[in-house]
A and B are shown apart, each in its own frame.
Chain A
């Protein structure tokens, strides 16, 4: 059964060390949109992405991509982790990183073909990094590293791109390149969901918005969600209570176990 939403999240709750990091998240994202996930530090933005991708276990809730379980539609989803999540001193070139995006379609025990390398070069070209294809990744600037990560997602030829802070700590050129590329992808029918940290640019970059602060404060089209009341609710002080609740819940659970 086809679904007009690329992502449906129902009552998703995630705990770290028994402490809830995300409460009953309820989100629907239509296809062909660019969605920003915004919220204060420690609001559970990365947790949300990781949990829907099964990278960390969810306590409860259900997640559907294109109306299906993640396992069935994995090939339609590309994930761009936070830049800080890997060791950039690793002995690997930009091209080799991008080729990793093809590993699943290559399969176990098979070698990387010339066609895979060509696709990697094509993706590197799209992010303006072809001339640095053979550079060790540690010698690239932060923005260039981010573009390499993006190229690795591009070679997966996905329908949904999940990105964790693609705009964090990058230069103006990279910001422009990434943004243009994201808009191109949307034009061609893909959907994008990005964790974003910079409130002033949110309304320019995205057309849909999820406000997150341990729970989903609001989600929907930009003009409905990006309002003063919603933002105050998301960033305002009254969430102290929720995090206090989470703390005491964690203590209780720890006692019980």
Chain B
């Protein structure tokens, strides 16, 4: 590979983060936000989203692509939060209890998701995406009709006026920012959610440690080549299910962390956005369907949310309408996923062609 090939490969590999970097560099001065405001907003969004995005790493390692099924974990987390709100348990204790309640649910959802994805090898992403829609229907049925009738809910604040079903918006006032403000730290007027970052740090260490374990190595082997992994004695199907279960459980915790920061829960919609935004952020960070690292997670969240923060104001100053920026945000989140998938397919095709050309060259040389 010559130098120009190397440079073009670098640009191809990092096309998405570079585009975002350029967009941010142009939009920041136009938006006229102060650096302290931008830093504060970025810290909030980093603490809010990092857990969710990190939960995507393990299935990628196991070769299952982007886990759109993480919304199942988010649903489990929300169910836990509904119960905790009903029992009126507040603060960090409420979050902890919600996590404890939702863990078995997330394990069950992850297990079922893993079984389905094993049946759909090679099409895991689209299957998990549709599975998310299917489970969304089940979730809505249970929460809208089962809660308050089959599942006992006593708080009138949560129930619809008809006596069963949970209201559209669940107020998490008692838990709002309870983790973020557990260890308060204020530097030059910028509030830093130390406890949340500690939790995220522990999670990062867990991911690093997990990669070195026997199970982590099995997952990497499975991700690289399932046939080879199977011949090496790895229980491929079991390994894949475990990766989805871990991801779902972590997504469940991620959704709890996310919602405690927001302070309100859109009972029927909050989980829907979790998957798309987390995946878009990861892809913006330079990750691909088959390769992602912790660095991609943080780069992605910073770049993606930087554009999210500045685009409405930049749109307002440029075109006189903040709504343009809002459209831009939605366009970006879905567009970037499409772009990353197209780039992935294109790159894979290129790699195959290059490998074939090399093989032909070697064959020709041998002849």
Mutual binders A and B: no
Q: Which residues of A approach B to under 8 Å, CB–CB? A: none
Q: Which residues of B approach A to under 8 Å, CB–CB? A: none
